[in-house]
Structure 1
Amino acid sequence: MYELPCRKTVTKRIQQLYENEKEDKVNLLEKAECVALTADHWTSVSNSNYLGVTAHFIDIKWRLHSFALTIQKTTTRHFAENVAEDFESVAEAWEVTQKVTTIGTDSARTMTTAMRLLTFQHMPCVAHALQRTITVCLADSGFTGTLARCRKIVGNFKHSPSNTEELQKEQTEREQDKEPLIQDVSTRWNSTLFMISRLLKNQEAVKATLAKQKHKLTMLTTAEWDRLQRLETLLKPCRYVTELLGGEIYVSCSVVLPALHPLTRTVEVSDDDPAYVVRFKAAFKKDLSQRQDTLNHGWLRVATALDPRFKDLKCLPRGERGGVWTSVEELLQKEPDRATPEPTEEPARKRSLLLFNSDSESEDEEGPNGALGRYRAEPTISGTDCPLQLWSTHEGAHPQLSALARKYLGSPATSVPCERIFSLAGNIVQKKRAALSSENVNRLVCLSNWLKEKKENK
């Protein structure tokens, strides 16, 4: 009995809802002191190019916000000058030009060149750099042939329902979960790890199933299964770092250096490593080091120092820690004085000296007196605690430092938020909806992102 509204009515309602939600986002951005952006390009099924931009900031209540600003169609080629103009137009349209601190992008040459034409600081995507390192190392360390045979084995089951059914029977007999094998995709992060982990988990079931079939596959040898086991061990820490830095509902910028530091230790060569593992580790360490050189270390180090979890700076060489605190002191001198709010009931703050590793206690790292010295004297918090919660309760004690923390901790470590926007856009702009106008694409994608964020924050 229900009569569906006409197309014009649906379009009008979507437009009105978009305007209402956009007004709420504009009000949030007006109150924000600093705003970080992430940006990337995406090509739809209709071969149209879009620029996606997301905003990230910490509000006065120390809540981290992350939402889409736009996914607009671009008609020009990806020349650096055009990309820079697109960034500026988005910032001006949302009236945040004077508030933008960093713009996070991938390491594409066009993006990197475009950032040199802007006054905003560039935050290269750490996750992209790490995945590029993994791709290079897999190709140069002798795993290519083994992985190629793995893909053919997985494809034998993925493309045949009957083969999949036989595999499930073998899994049931071994009291394992009925789970399909995973095929890796070059553009999907960690998919190679997922493929080999699932194969190793179902190794016996796969062998038993293939033994009953007639096929032309080249089976993996015992040495190759062992090679996959070692590769899984090498890639698991990379997956952890990628997922850790790719979040957008928690502080990630200050986690980059503490996360990469132990990662480099996992690729130290040991006497028990076979030759192919030695090659992988050597290539990984060399390539990752080169890509780390392109990161915004100045911003990352200050962000780490302003995170109460990592302010001991143990992820840095001892000789570089003093320079970080000197940078923070210089930033404090540029920061305008802020009135201290009325004191509230607050437990007495512990003022104990930080404990550093090994001989770092003997170093000249006492730092400046005053607010910065008091902050450094306070104990670090647990790595599982939220730094924003601590800053919300200590803002009155450190008004200038808290302003710096709100600025530096609000920047995301990766451009993954844009990748998620594109995944959402891919679900909206499908083959049967490829004729959607760019305005409607922008409204639908942004609305989906905004309404989801509102639902999660309730």
Structure 2
Amino acid sequence: MWEHVDLISPNKVRCLLCSKELGYNNNTSSMLRHYRALHENREETGASPSQATRKQELDEVLVSMIVKDTQPFTIVDDVGFGTFVSKLDPKYVLPTRQALKAMVEAKYEFAKEHAKAKVEKVVAVSLTSDMWTSINIDAYLAVTCHFVEENEKLSSVLLGVQAFPQSHTAENIACVKASLMEEWGISGKVTCMVTDGAPNMVACVRELKLRHHICVAHTLNLVVKRAFDQHPVLSGLRAKARKLVGYFRSSTTAKVCSFLLFQYIMLIVCLYSYCSDLMAYSSVSLKEKLKRVQLQLGMQATKLMQEVETRWNSTYLMLQRLVELREPVGAALAGLHTDIPFFTASEFDIVVACLSSLSPFYDASTELSAEEHVSASKVIPLLKMIAKALQEEDTKSAPAVAVEIGEQLIRQLREKLHMLQSMSILSLATLQDPQFKLIAFFSNTKAAEAVKRLTSECATVIRRNTEENTHEIPQASTSQEFTGGSRLWQRLDTSVMEAKRTQNVSEDATVEIQRYLSEANISRLENPLEYWANHRSLYPNLYKLALIYLCTPASSVPCERVFSKAGEVVSKKRNRLKPKTVEKLLFLNKNA
């Protein structure tokens, strides 16, 4: 090893191959680990080519594990992991933490260049953006990019997750986003940006002069949350459910309050053919009791779900699970000395009726949160279907509370639907989805407006193509040709030719759109991007517009998924990670 290192102090050596300083304690262990991790495959050692290749393969798999499973770099120092690896391959020497981090950084640089090359080829992109605060109270801003690749496949790339220590003003956010767009070379390609409804986010997009639409999942969340909050009965049932679920989740033990009630529990147990130890049953945790009751009733053991304030879907799932576990929850609570009340029969009827009205919202939000399929074109038709489903529910006999909730949902949904149908980005995406076209719109007026808007966009594409394909004619000859040799009529003749050209372009756009709309819609299970790939020669100008509008996501869920993973990366065990390292790990986790 002394051929590759130089002693620079009694306790330090410097690597002659990379100039890195290492600790020295009268042995060469640290030198050997460093050499094997970083330089063994690059120097002519006694190792065979196959051994060098094997080490490189294992190093790559280790880096992939760190990235995909969000494992800490210190795992290479863990005794148990080291023993496990040595059993699998005794010849493989784990790299040091520093070497492993260097490998991750090298992989990040390679993946980023690959992603940039992919984004560079596309004609249009849409962005989603959101902010997140880590357990260290550090703010991060994430931006994801969505586009249609050359193989007509919808793809996405995480552009960055940058630390954001400055004030969260629209100007500061816009500055960071503009810098990211410039770095990735997409400043002129952005079709739309999707964010939540936070005022600073909305103002930021306005500052960037981009098209914008608010995350539809957040919009549905506001519709349902407002309906819950405006009705005191339903708000009370929701609070009651939260308290009940919290009691089950926090109660460590639950004793039977009296001998008579305990006998009653024994009777219930006998009726359901319980074979477990009854005395033990009286002192187990409430969660365990619920599990035992479910198993003895022949049900699959499932847990109660607690709602998350920022996601209405969790409220729906909490109430749905309570309805599903109505019998076992009642049996588990029987005989307990607690002030936690269970739902009455009439309250259960209200919850069941409300769940029936909320079910379409749940299905729609799940559908619109998809990242691998076209989603913006589904917003208008899905909201239309929700409105029809609510109208059908309104005709059924239900408790008065459920009827009132349904009416509130219909009113608020119509307001949102009217607004969303007027947004060009969503209406054009719907019109260019061969699954929906005109039938998805709630009114013929909105459909006609969308067709007019698409005709204008298509005419712009045709005009641009004409200008690109037309060679410039010398000004003198052009003037003579238009005016018959006289300059007096030049301006008038030029205006006439321009009007004629504009009319031809508009007619060509109208013909192409009407031919497309007259075709039968494809099946809802078919891929609209495959349709456009097969019809690109028949509708060349609409094909270009389809690549622009169908890449827009319906929600900002892609960013939320990034931050869900970020919570695993920046954990209590890894709370000293630098923001740059966090960004690299998340970038690789999302893109590699």
Residue 116 (structure 1) aligned with residue 206 (structure 2): yes
Check 1:368–1:26 CA distance in 2 against 1; reply closer, same or farther (3 A cut).
Answer: closer
Q: 1:218 aligned to 318, 329, 341, which one?
A: 341
- Select between 282-291 and 79-88 the one with higher mean Cα deviation: 282-291
For residues 188 and 324 of structure 1, the distance between their equivalents in structure 2, rounded to whole angstroms, comes to 32
Equivalent residues of 1:154, 1:183 under 8 A apart:
yes
Q: Which residue of 1 aligns with 2:517?
A: 376
For residue 267 of structure 1, give the secondary structure of its aligned residue in structure 2: helix
Query: Greater share of helix residues, 1 or 2?
Result: 2
Q: Which residue of 2 aligns with 1:301?
A: 427
Residue 441 (structure 1) aligned with residue 531 (structure 2): no
Deviation at 1:285, TM superposition (A): 3.0
TM-score by length of 1: 0.89
Q: 1:337 aligned to 457, 465, 477, which one?
A: 465
Q: Which residue of 2 aligns with 1:321?
A: 447
- Select between 244-253 and 170-179 the one with higher mean Cα deviation: 170-179
For residues 317 and 591 of structure 2, the distance between their equivalents in structure 1, rounded to whole angstroms, comes to 31
Q: 2:386 aligned to 263, 267, 284, which one?
A: 263
Check 1:402–1:427 CA distance in 2 against 1; reply closer, same or farther (3 A cut).
Answer: same
For residues 100 and 245 of structure 2, the distance between their equivalents in structure 1, rounded to whole angstroms, comes to 45
For residues 368 and 407 of structure 1, the distance between their equivalents in structure 2, rounded to whole angstroms, comes to 17
Of the two, which has the highest radius of gyration?
2
Deviation at 1:450, TM superposition (A): 1.1
Equivalent residues of 2:147, 2:154 under 8 A apart:
yes
- Select between 79-88 and 11-20 the one with higher mean Cα deviation: 79-88
Q: 2:144 aligned to 27, 45, 54, which one?
A: 54
For residue 465 of structure 2, give the secondary structure of its aligned residue in structure 1: coil
For residue 208 of structure 2, give the secondary structure of its aligned residue in structure 1: coil
Equivalent residues of 2:170, 2:201 under 8 A apart:
yes
Check 1:304–1:229 CA distance in 2 against 1; reply closer, same or farther (3 A cut).
Answer: same
Equivalent residues of 1:37, 1:100 under 8 A apart:
yes
Deviation at 1:267, TM superposition (A): 2.9
TM-score by length of 2: 0.69
For residues 314 and 292 of structure 1, the distance between their equivalents in structure 2, rounded to whole angstroms, comes to 12
Q: 1:166 aligned to 289, 297, 302, which one?
A: 289
Q: How many residues align?
A: 425
For residues 405 and 15 of structure 1, the distance between their equivalents in structure 2, rounded to whole angstroms, comes to 37
Q: Which residue of 2 aligns with 1:198?
A: 321
For residues 251 and 213 of structure 2, the distance between their equivalents in structure 1, rounded to whole angstroms, comes to 44
- Select between 313-322 and 14-23 the one with higher mean Cα deviation: 313-322
Q: 2:374 aligned to 232, 245, 251, which one?
A: 251
Equivalent residues of 2:350, 2:399 under 8 A apart:
no
Equivalent residues of 1:39, 1:415 under 8 A apart:
yes
Residue identity opposite 1:117 in structure 2? E
For residues 294 and 53 of structure 1, the distance between their equivalents in structure 2, rounded to whole angstroms, comes to 26
Equivalent residues of 1:304, 1:313 under 8 A apart:
no
Residue identity opposite 1:440 in structure 2? T
Residue identity opposite 1:333 in structure 2? A
Residue 134 (structure 1) aligned with residue 259 (structure 2): no
For residues 271 and 17 of structure 1, the distance between their equivalents in structure 2, rounded to whole angstroms, comes to 59
Q: Which residue of 2 aligns with 1:85?
A: 175
Residue identity opposite 2:121 in structure 1? K
Equivalent residues of 2:192, 2:425 under 8 A apart:
no
Deviation at 1:153, TM superposition (A): 1.9
Spell out the pairing of 1:60-99 with structure 2 (5 A cutoff): 60-99=150-189
For residues 44 and 119 of structure 1, the distance between their equivalents in structure 2, rounded to whole angstroms, comes to 30
Equivalent residues of 2:242, 2:306 under 8 A apart:
yes
For residues 65 and 127 of structure 1, the distance between their equivalents in structure 2, rounded to whole angstroms, comes to 20
Check 1:49–1:249 CA distance in 2 against 1; reply closer, same or farther (3 A cut).
Answer: same
Q: Which residue of 2 aligns with 1:276?
A: 401
For residues 328 and 84 of structure 1, the distance between their equivalents in structure 2, rounded to whole angstroms, comes to 29
Q: 1:409 aligned to 550, 555, 558, which one?
A: 550
For residue 101 of structure 1, give the secondary structure of its aligned residue in structure 2: strand
Q: Which residue of 2 aligns with 1:398?
A: 539
Q: Which residue of 1 aligns with 2:411?
A: 286
Equivalent residues of 2:174, 2:207 under 8 A apart:
yes
Q: Which residue of 1 aligns with 2:197?
A: 107
For residues 234 and 320 of structure 2, the distance between their equivalents in structure 1, rounded to whole angstroms, comes to 15
Deviations 1:291-343 (A, max 9, x none): 456646111111111000001334331233222211111111100338xxxxx
Deviation at 1:213, TM superposition (A): 2.4
Q: Which residue of 2 aligns with 1:150?
A: 241
Residue 183 (structure 1) aligned with residue 306 (structure 2): yes
Equivalent residues of 1:36, 1:412 under 8 A apart:
yes
For residues 438 and 331 of structure 2, the distance between their equivalents in structure 1, rounded to whole angstroms, comes to 53
- Select between 222-231 and 3-12 the one with higher mean Cα deviation: 3-12
Residue identity opposite 1:283 in structure 2? Q
Equivalent residues of 1:305, 1:313 under 8 A apart:
no
Equivalent residues of 2:369, 2:557 under 8 A apart:
yes
Residue 35 (structure 1) aligned with residue 125 (structure 2): yes
Structure 1 residues without counterparts, runs of 5 or longer = 339-366, 452-458
Equivalent residues of 1:124, 1:294 under 8 A apart:
no
Equivalent residues of 1:337, 1:400 under 8 A apart:
no
Residue identity opposite 2:542 in structure 1? L
- Select between 369-378 and 238-247 the one with higher mean Cα deviation: 369-378
For residue 190 of structure 1, give the secondary structure of its aligned residue in structure 2: helix
- Select between 64-73 and 147-156 the one with higher mean Cα deviation: 147-156
Deviation at 1:244, TM superposition (A): 0.6
For residues 173 and 445 of structure 1, the distance between their equivalents in structure 2, rounded to whole angstroms, comes to 44
For residue 47 of structure 1, give the secondary structure of its aligned residue in structure 2: coil
Deviations 1:148-199 (A, max 9, x none): 2222222222123511111122112211001111111112341111111111
Q: Which residue of 1 aligns with 2:56?
A: none
Deviation at 1:426, TM superposition (A): 0.7
Residue 233 (structure 1) aligned with residue 323 (structure 2): no
Check 1:47–1:293 CA distance in 2 against 1; reply closer, same or farther (3 A cut).
Answer: farther
After superposition, the CA RMSD in angstroms is 2.0
Deviation at 1:114, TM superposition (A): 1.5
Deviation at 1:290, TM superposition (A): 4.3
Check 1:151–1:320 CA distance in 2 against 1; reply closer, same or farther (3 A cut).
Answer: closer
Q: Which residue of 1 aligns with 2:111?
A: 21
For residues 50 and 84 of structure 1, the distance between their equivalents in structure 2, rounded to whole angstroms, comes to 14
Q: Which residue of 2 aligns with 1:430?
A: 571
Residue identity opposite 2:298 in structure 1? E
Check 1:288–1:110 CA distance in 2 against 1; reply closer, same or farther (3 A cut).
Answer: farther
Equivalent residues of 2:383, 2:413 under 8 A apart:
no
Equivalent residues of 2:458, 2:542 under 8 A apart:
yes
Equivalent residues of 2:126, 2:190 under 8 A apart:
yes
Check 1:9–1:151 CA distance in 2 against 1; reply closer, same or farther (3 A cut).
Answer: same
* Structure number with higher relative contact order (C-alpha < 8 Å, ≥ 6 residues apart): 1
For residue 50 of structure 1, give the secondary structure of its aligned residue in structure 2: strand
